[in-house]
Amino acid sequence: MALRKFLTCTVCAVAVVAAGCADGTGQALTPTLPTLDANAANADGTRLKASAPQPLSPRSAVRTSNLTPQLVLENGSGTFDPAVPLSFIFEVTDGSQVVAKSDPIPAGSPRTVWTVPANVLKLNRTYVWRAYSVFSDVIGSESDNVTFRTPLPPPVDGPVVCASDAGAEIVKCVGRAYPKYLVETDAGDGSLERRKHNMEFIRDRIIETGICKGLDLARNFKRGTPVISHDFLVWRIGGRNHGVDIATGYDDVKQPLRLKWQVFGAPDYGHPFYAKYPPVDCTNLADPSAASLAESE
């Protein structure tokens, strides 16, 4: 398909000769299809004749695991020739202005991916992203706008003193150390968000404490997506990843947060997806007498 046909030519009306005659005239009826003008602008003022791409991930205000997330796009395609090699431009906004914009990225197969550069996004913010097609400097219609949230700031608190390296005991130690994060959060709008924040805090303290006790613990990529599980972590034992459920009904904001340590085994091991945890400072846990004190409380 020639470039001129894709961008600038006018598609003429197509005549379809019908079998039959007008009543009493003896003349053939000749209905025609509407004219499709490639020179006309799209409804939004753009001129590239292509379907709009659509954002796949992240979306629906999910919280990413880092400040350089991958944006995944379902490709658009040419209206006149789906085989035309389109490129896509990604944009990230803070709701009012563009904070990051990609160069044209050739369409991937089956999807197109762009990683947001470092030192652009800030912690605990909501961002909007979108994309549009481009071909030979002619741009097409924008995709839908979708949102994502960046990670919460690192907690000021850290791992806790615990005499045992058993997972169930570590859970108890963390629960005793941070009781304010276990309370019910049914206090009107935003209560579920507060519960999620509390669950994430407790999850990370469990991981940190376990790492300091010699366990290979990590966060979990939920179902293999970039989304981090709130109440599920990964325990690597002998090179095999085991999923660990650490809470019961954590999203029931009318109840205190109920912690547990449930390790999944064969055959699926809970379908864990290892998300390596950052280095942990364990120096404040060096006094063994402090561990004995913590366990006796």
Query: CB of 55 within 8 A of CB of 144?
Result: yes
Q: How far apart are CA 13 and CA 196, in angstroms?
A: 58
Q: How many CB atoms lie within 10 A of CB 196?
A: 18
- H-type alpha helices, the chain: 3-7, 167-177, 191-212, 288-296
> Does pLDDT of 207 surpass 90?
yes
Residues 275-294 have a mean pLDDT of: 67
- Kindly list the structural domains of the chain, giving each domain's residue range(s) and its CATH number in brackets, ordered by start: 1-40 (no CATH), 54-149 (2.60.40.10), 167-296 (no CATH)
Confidence grade of residue 283 (pLDDT, cut at 50, 70, 90): confident
Please tell me the predicted confidence (pLDDT) of residue 2: 42
Q: How far apart are CA 49 and CA 60, in angstroms?
A: 28
Query: E strands along 31-123, which residues?
Result: 36-37, 54-57, 62-63, 70-74, 87-93, 98-101, 105-106, 111-115
Q: How far apart are CA 275 and CA 187, in angstroms?
A: 32
Task: Find where tokens 């006094």 sit.
Answer: 287
Q: How far apart are CA 28 and CA 254, in angstroms?
A: 75
Q: Which residues, other chains included, contact 82 with Cβ-Cβ below 8 Å and sequence gap of 6+? A: none
Query: CB of 113 within 8 A of CB of 71?
Result: yes
What letter does residue 150 receive in the DSSP assignment? P
Question: What are residue 105's phi and psi, to 5 degrees?
Answer: -110, 120
Q: Which tens digit of pLDDT belongs to each residue from 213-258? A: 999 999 999 999 989 999 999 999 999 999 999 999 888 888 899 9
Q: How far apart are CA 103 and CA 118, in angstroms?
A: 16
Integer-rounded Cα radius of gyration of the chain:
28
Q: How far apart are CA 245 and CA 220, in angstroms?
A: 10
CA atoms within 13 A on the CB side of 91: 15
Q: Which tens digit of pLDDT belongs to each residue from 151-182? A: 877 656 889 989 999 999 999 999 998 999 99
More confident residue, 277 or 9: 277
Q: Which tens digit of pLDDT belongs to each residue from 52-95? A: 999 999 999 998 989 999 999 999 988 777 788 999 999 999 98
Query: CB of 7 within 8 A of CB of 48?
Result: yes
Query: CB of 61 within 8 A of CB of 119?
Result: no
Task: Find where tokens 């790492």 sit.
Answer: 211
Query: CB of 139 within 8 A of CB of 104?
Result: no
Amino acid at 137: D
